[in-house]
A and B are shown apart, each in its own frame.
Chain A
Amino acid sequence: MTPSFAQIMLGAAGAVAAQLGPRLKDDAFAIGQAQIIGLLMVLVAQEADRAADTLSLETVAMRALFAEASESPLPEGLRRRLRAMAESAPPENFTISGLEKIARPMKALLIELHEAVEDRPDEWARPLEAKCWDVLKLGADHRQLFMPGM
C-alpha cells in the first residue's frame, strides 16, 4: 500500500503536533487530548503492518504445542481437545479480526493446558510448561511498542 499505514499515521501525528498543537495553547485539556491522539497514531503506525503476522505466528506456535501436548500423559479428554485444536481448519482469511477469531479458542485452551501442566510435579510436565511460556512470550515480545517521549 502506498502510502503505507505507517506513513499515513505518522504524518497525521506530525500534523496534530505541528499544525493543531500551537492553536491550542490556552486549553490544557485540549492539548492533553491532542497529545494522546497523536501518540495513538504513532502506536498504530507501528502495529498496523505486523498485527496479522503476530497473530499468525502465535496460532502456528499454539498448534505445534497442542500437537506435542496431545501425546503427553495428560487426561484423555484434554488430549483429545488438544489434538482437535492442533488439526483444526486454517484461517479463512488473514484479516486481523479473522485471525483473532481463530486465536481466541486456542488461547482459552492454552490457559487450560498451562494450568494442567503446572499442577503436575512430573518430569515430563516441565518442558511443556516452559513451552507454554515460550508461546506466551512470543506474542508479548512481538507486540512491544516503542513509546516516543511525550
Chain B
Amino acid sequence: MLTHDEIATLADYLAQTLQTGPVRIENFSRIPGGASRETYRFDAVAADFDGGSRGFILRRDPPDSLIDTERALEFAAYRSFYGRGVPVPEAIALVADESVLGRPFFIMERIDHGASSSPFQPDPFGPHREAIGRDFFSILGAIAAVDPYDTEMPGVVDTPAPEDCWRRELDRWQKVIETDSLEPQPIAMAAIRRLRRNPPQPPPKLAVVHGDYRVGNFLHDGAGRITAILDWEMAHIGDPMEDLAWALDPLWASNPALAAGLLDFEEAIRHWQQASGRRFNAEAFQWWSLFANLKGLAIWISSSKAYHDGKNADPILAFSGWYCATRHNKIIADRLSQTTWGGL
C-alpha cells in the first residue's frame, strides 16, 4: 500500500502532468489480480475535470513479479490500440523515476462499470456467454488486423523475421524454464524437444501479439459486451496464431468443450477470421497450441520460484505455481503421450 506521503506526491504529479490546478486523491485502494504489478484504483478530484473528478488506475512495479516485463512495453501497447477499435483504457503517464513512488509505475484511465471474471469460475458469464464469446474473438481478430509498424510497439520490442517468430518465443520461454526450475521438468523438456522438431509455418504477415489474451484479462459490462482488454505486459510482435492458441488453452476454459469456454470452435475461428482478415492456419495452430501449454508451464515455474525464494509472498503465486503447473503438466502429458516419436 502507498503511504500518505506517496499519495500526496502522486496528487502533485498528476496536477503537473495533466496541467490542472491542485489535485486531491480520494478512494485510494488496492484491487486484486495482476501479480505482475501492484494495482490501485483512485479518484482524482480537481476543478478542471468534467464533473470535478476522474477515475484512474495506478500500476506499480512489485518487489518481484510473475513475469519479468518492461512497463514501457505495456504502456506502449495501451497507447497503440487506444481509439483503434480495440477497447483499452487511455494510458496517461509512465514514470520510471523511482524517486516519485519508490518504484516505477504507470497511470491509466479507469474503466468504470466493468467487471472481470475468473477463468476458474464455473459459469463466469451466464446468459451472456455467447455474446462475450463473439466480442472476445472479434477483438482478438481486430488486434491481429493492425499493422505492427503502424503502432508504437517497434519502438519498445524487437521485430523478428516471420520465420523466426516461433524460435524466438521458444528460446525465451525455454530459458525461463531452465533458469527458474527448482526441480527437473521432464514434461516441459519433452514438449520443448517436440516443438523444436516440428517448427510451424511462418505467418504471412506479422502482428502485434497481446501475449496474455484470455478469459480473466478483460472487463465486461455484465450485458454481453467487453469494455476493456487489459494486461498487455507480455505484448510483442510475432505470429497472431500465438494469441489465438493462448486464448484457447484448456486451462482458461470453464467449459473445455467450447473455445475459451465461450463458443464452438468453428464459430470462434469464423469471428477471428472476419475481424482479422487473416486465414486460420490449422497446422501452425497445433504448434502454437502446444507452445501455449509450455509457456503457461514456464510462467507457473517462475511463480513457484518467486514464492519459494521469498521475493514475492502474494498467495496467487503459490496458487499458480502449484495448481496451474499441475494442470499444464497433465495437459501436455496427455497430449504428447498420444503421439510418440515425432508429430504434435
Chain B, interface size category, equals: 20 to 34
Is B5 an interface residue, CB under 8 A from the partner? no
B interface, CB within 8 angstroms of A: 29-33, 118, 120-122, 183-187, 189-190, 193, 315-316, 318-319, 322-323, 326-327, 329-330, 333-334, 336-337, 340-341
With a CB–CB cut-off of 8 A, which chain A residues contact B318? 40
A104-132 CB contacts (< 8 Å) to partner B: 104, 107-108, 110-111, 114-115, 118, 121, 125-126, 129-130, 132
Is A136 an interface residue, CB under 8 A from the partner? yes
A50 nearest CB across to chain B (Å):
13
Total interface residues on A, CB under 8 Å, equals: 39
Is A89 an interface residue, CB under 8 A from the partner? no
Q: How many residue pairs bridge A and B at CB < 8 Å?
A: 98
Q: Is the CB of A140 within 8 A of B316?
A: no
Most buried by A among B33, B184, B189, B322: B184
Q: Is the CB of B323 within 8 A of A147?
A: yes
Is A28 an interface residue, CB under 8 A from the partner? yes
A28 to B330 CA separation, bound complex (whole angstroms): 33
Starting from the known contacts A33-B32, A140-B333, 9 additional A-B residue pairs (CB-CB under 8 Å) come to: A39-B319, A40-B315, A111-B185, A118-B193, A132-B190, A136-B337, A137-B333, A143-B330, A144-B330
Q: Is the CB of A140 within 8 A of B187?
A: yes
Is A57 an interface residue, CB under 8 A from the partner? no
A interface, CB within 8 angstroms of B: 27-29, 31-33, 36-37, 39-40, 43, 100, 104, 107-108, 110-111, 114-115, 118, 121, 125-126, 129-130, 132-134, 136-137, 139-141, 143-145, 147, 149-150
- Pick from B31, B315, B319, B337: contact of A133, CB below 8 A: B337
- Pick from A29, A33, A136, A150: contact of B121, CB below 8 A: A150
B19 nearest CB across to chain A (Å):
31
Chain A contact residues, majority secondary structure:
helix
12 cross-chain CB contacts under 8 A = A29-B29, A29-B30, A36-B316, A36-B319, A40-B322, A43-B322, A104-B184, A107-B186, A111-B184, A137-B333, A140-B334, A145-B323
Q: Is the CB of A43 within 8 A of B187?
A: no
Closest residue of chain A to B33, judged by CB? A32
A140 to B330 CA separation, bound complex (whole angstroms): 5
Q: Is the CB of A32 within 8 A of B32?
A: yes
With a CB–CB cut-off of 8 A, which chain B residues contact A132? 186, 190
Closest residue of chain A to B315, judged by CB? A36
Q: Which 8 A-B pairs have the closest CB atoms?
A: A32-B32, A133-B337, A107-B184, A29-B30, A140-B330, A140-B333, A149-B122, A108-B184
With a CB–CB cut-off of 8 A, which chain A residues contact B327? 144-145
Q: Is the CB of A28 within 8 A of B29?
A: yes
B193 nearest CB across to chain A (Å):
6
A9 nearest CB across to chain B (Å):
14
Q: Is the CB of B319 within 8 A of A136?
A: no
A69 nearest CB across to chain B (Å):
14
Q: Is the CB of A110 within 8 A of B186?
A: yes
A6 to B323 CA separation, bound complex (whole angstroms): 17
Q: Is the CB of B32 within 8 A of A126?
A: no
With a CB–CB cut-off of 8 A, which chain A residues contact B326? 140, 143-145
Q: Is the CB of B341 within 8 A of A129?
A: yes
- Pick from B33, B118, B323, B340: contact of A126, CB below 8 A: B340
- Pick from B118, B186, B190, B341: contact of A150, CB below 8 A: B118
